[in-house]
Every structure is written in structure tokens, then in C-alpha cells.
């Protein structure tokens, strides 16, 4: 199958494909999504098989207007709606009890459903044209870094899907914050650009749902699987002496292909080294880092890098979410210096 990549005039072809149960790729403000009709169980099955994703790892259902949520959930309180109005459209996904029209194929067998209203005109326009919510996981093969550019999507899905809509580089670069509203204490199952501190202003008793602790997994079923992993062996290096540590590692691996992913502030420390050097952005600008991070992990694969050293230091706000992705990308190879 030839994959068509379109920047414009995609509306009618996208609508027809979705209505016929086909799967296409659409941009969102977080990452690209592999989208199909969320209310068609065969579309959901196709998404799992294309991604190579385990069937018990549920999909996020995307809507274009807040009132589309009513028919997808059993009940929703005024307080919950007010909360959503503050953050939608945006990088926030909520878990609620599902209604009967949402097939369990979409929810990975669960009685709950994850819903998000993205802040991106292309996907919202397609939801409006098709008149159905779109189930869309990140458009990467299971286990690979999430796609933030069309080139990443094509690495994984060229000639496997009929249509990719090109919306340019994703603005935020990491997936939405997921919050579970099905219990009395709201819990963040996956951190994102919308932080615990921001959510606390509206839901004062919100807590982290243990997404970092091995024993607590899996609260969001997707969190138990291998994720974002580049081919090379990757390390997340924290602490005051991280540059010295990385420089020593470079010295001891003279014959190996090494990449260093450094904050802009520290990049000059590695400039004389024979390594692939990537600037991930300023440690004062988390969005700069989130926007780039999956791209840089994929770059390491492109160059067949054997060892990857990623600097890290700030652990608050949006950096909590970036660290969460990097802990997974490095398979918990965390080094404190
Ligand atoms: O930003 C995003 O959320 C992107 C874009 C495309 O919208 N989507 C995304 O989807 O990241 P995906 O499938 O890669 O991640 C969905 C996560 C998985 O970890 C899954 O287990 C969790 O959401 N999830 C979905 N439904 C759930 C449910 N009912 N209960 C708990 N976790 C759920
Ligand atoms: Mg994903």
C-alpha cells in the first residue's frame, strides 16, 4: 500500500477512510496519533495489529468539543466538567467509566475509557467531519519513541497505512498527562506538560499514581511495557558531576559509537570529544526539551549509536514528565553522580 502524505486538501479522503474503518495518521499538539473510529471495534483491532501493541493496553479516545463526552461516559459531575473546561483543548486525558457505545476493543477490555480533546485544529476538524470520536495511540511501533515529526511516522509506518496528515513538528513533543477520575482521589497515571501543581488548583486532593515505582505498575496498562527504547544502551546521568562521569565513560569506550544528549548550558564540555553530540535545549526551558527528546532518541538509532548518555537535572514541573519518559527510554539505567 502506498502511503499518501498530505498537508492540505485531506478532509474528504481522511473522512472516507475513517468511515470505512481504515487507520490514518494525524497530528496533535503532543505527538502524532494512529487514528481510527473509536466506536468501531474492527478499527480498534486494526490499530493494535498495526502498532504491534498488546490488546490489553487501551487506546485514548479523542473528541473535538467538550459536549461530545456525554455519550462516551456513564456519568460526569459538574465539578469534573468544570475541571475539564480549564484544560481542554489541551494535553490532558481523563479516565472515566465508559458508556455502552464504547467497545471494549477500544478500552483494552476495561470498563473505563480515556478521553482527550486535543489542541490541534487538524485532528479536531477530522473528528467533526467524521462525526465520530477517534481512537489514537501514539503513531509509533510498540516500544519505539513516540513520533513528533512526519519522518518518524514514516520510519515506522511507510507503506502500511493509506494516509499521513502532515502538521509539521508537534509543539509539545511528549504525550498528554493522564488523570484517573474514577476513584475519590484523582490520580495522575502518566505525567505530562500539564503538571500536578496546575491540576491541584482545581482538584486539591490529586496525587501521583505511582507511575515511577516498579511495584505499583501497571495502573495505566501501557506503563508496564517497554517504551521509547532506542537500539543503543542508554543511561540517564544526574547529579553535580554528570559531565565528569560522561567524559570518563567516553574515555573508557574509545572504540565505541557514543552519543551524548546534553543541556545547551553544558554542550561546550563535550565539544572536543569524538562523540555524536546533541543539544536537547536549555535546562530552564522544559518545552524546548520535551519537543526534541524523542527526535534525538530516534537520531541515535539512525546513526547506530551503541552507548547513549543523557544528562538530567531539574526534577520539578514539566521535567517530571520528561524524566518519566527518559527513565523508560533508558530501561531504568539511572546514574546519580
Ligand atoms: O498525547 C497523547 O495522549 C497521545 C496523542 C496521540 O493524543 N496519545 C497517546 O496514546 O499517548 P498511547 O496509546 O500511546 O498512550 C495511552 C496511555 C497508555 O499508557 C494506556 O495504558 C493509557 O493511556 N490508558 C488508556 N485508557 C486507559 C484506561 N481506561 N485506564 C488506564 N489507562 C488507560
Ligand atoms: Mg504511546
User: Stretch 299-315: mean pLDDT, rounded?
Assistant: 94
Cell 503513531 belongs to which residue?
139
Residue among 61, 221, 321 whose CB has most ligand 1 atoms within 8 A, to mutate: 221
Q: What is the DSSP string of 181-205?
A: -SSSS-EEEE--SS-HHHHHTT-TT
Residue 110 CA: which ligand is closest? Answer: 1
Establish whether residue 324 lines the binding site of ligand 1, counting it when its CB lies within 6 angstroms of any ligand atom: no
186 lines ligand 1 (CB under 6 A): no
Nearest to 232 by CA among 331, 337, 334: 331
Q: What percent of the chain has pLDDT over 90?
A: 89
Cβ atoms 147, 136 nearer than 8 A: no
Q: Is 28 in the pocket of ligand 1 (CB under 6 A)?
A: yes
What is the four-CA torsion angle of 315, 327, 52, 59, rounded to 10 degrees? -30
- Contact (CB, 8 A) for 236 and 334: yes
Q: Stretch 115-126: mean pLDDT, rounded?
A: 98
Q: Which atom of ligand 1 is nearest to the CA of 91?
A: 1
Using a CB cutoff of 5 Å, list residues around ligand 2, an ion: 138
| Cell, residue 96 | 472515566
Alpha helices for the chain (secondary structure H): 11-19, 41-51, 78-87, 121-130, 150-157, 196-200, 242-252, 286-302, 318-329
Residue 189 CB–ligand 1 contact under 6 Å: yes
Closest CA to 247 of 230, 268, 224: 268
Q: Could you tell me which residues are beta bridge partners of residue 73? A: 98
pTM over 0.85: yes
Ligand that lies nearest to the alpha carbon of residue 113, given by its number in the listed order: 1
pLDDT 10s digits, 129-158: 999 999 999 999 998 999 999 999 999 999
Whether 23 is in the pocket of ligand 1, judged by its Cβ within 6 Å, is no
**Neighbour-count burial of 218, counting CB atoms closer than 10 A to its CB (0-12 exposed, 13-18 middle, 19+ buried):** middle
CB neighbour class for 301 (10 Å; exposed up to 12, middle 13-18, buried from 19): middle
Under DSSP, the state recorded for 165 is E
Q: What pLDDT score was predicted for residue 228?
A: 82
Region 196-215: what's the mean pLDDT?
A: 81
3-state secondary structure of 260: strand
Amino acid at each position: 500500500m502506498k502511503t499518501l502524505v498530505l498537508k492540505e486538501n485531506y478532509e474528504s479522503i481522511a473522512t472516507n477512510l475513517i468511515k470505512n474503518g481504515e487507520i490514518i495518521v494525524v497530528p496533535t499538539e503532543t505527538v502524532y496519533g494512529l487514528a481510527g473510529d473509536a466506536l468501531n471495534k474492527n478499527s480498534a483491532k486494526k490499530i493494535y495489529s498495526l502498532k504491534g501493541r498488546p490488546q490489553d493496553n487501551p487506546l485514548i479516545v479523542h473528541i473535538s468539543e467538550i459536549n461530545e463526552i456525554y455519550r462516551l461516559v456513564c456519568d460526569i459531575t459538574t465539578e469534573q466538567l468544570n475541571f475539564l473546561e480549564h484544560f481542554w483543548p489541551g494535553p490532558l486525558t481523563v479516565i472515566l467509566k465508559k458508556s455502552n457505545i464504547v467497545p471494549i476493543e477500544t478500552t483494552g477490555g476495561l470498563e473505563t475509557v480515556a478521553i482527550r480533546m486535543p489542541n490541534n485544529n487538524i485532528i479536531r476538524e477530522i473528528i467533526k467531519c467524521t462525526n465520530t470520536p477517534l481512537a489514537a495511540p501514539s503513531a509509533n511501533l510498540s516500544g519505539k519513541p513516540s513520533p513528533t515529526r512526519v519522518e518518524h511516522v514514516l520510519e515506522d509506518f511507510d507503506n502500511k497505512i493509506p494516509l499521513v496528515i502532515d502538521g509539521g513538528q508537534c509543539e509539545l513533543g511528549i504525550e498528554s498527562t493522564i488523570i484517573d477520575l474514577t476513584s475519590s482521589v484523582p490520580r495522575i497515571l502518566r505525567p505530562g506538560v500539564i503538571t500536578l501543581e496546575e491540576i491541584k488548583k482545581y482538584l486539591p486532593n490529586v496525587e501521583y499514581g505511582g507511575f515511577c515505582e516498579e511495584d505499583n505498575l501497571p495502573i495505566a496498562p501501557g506503563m508496564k511495557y517497554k517504551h521509547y527504547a532506542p537500539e543503543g544502551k542508554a543511561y540517564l546521568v544526574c547529579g553535580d558531576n554528570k559531565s565528569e562521569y560522561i567524559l570518563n565513560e567516553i574515555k573508557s569506550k574509545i572504540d565505541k559509537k557514543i552519543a551524548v544528549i546534553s543541556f545547551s548550558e553544558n554542550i561546550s564540555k563535550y565539544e572536543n570529544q569524538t562523540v555524536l553530540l546533541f543539544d536537547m535545549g536549555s535546562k530552564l526551558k522544559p518545552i524546548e526539551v520535551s519537543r526534541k527528546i524523542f527526535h534525538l532518541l530516534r537520531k541515535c538509532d539512525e546513526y547506530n549509536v551503541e552507548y547513549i548518555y543523557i544528562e538530567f537535572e531539574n526534577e520539578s514541573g514539566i521535567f517530571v514528565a520528561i524524566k518519566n519518559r527518559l527513565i523508560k527510554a533508558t530501561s531504568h539505567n539511572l546514574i546519580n553522580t
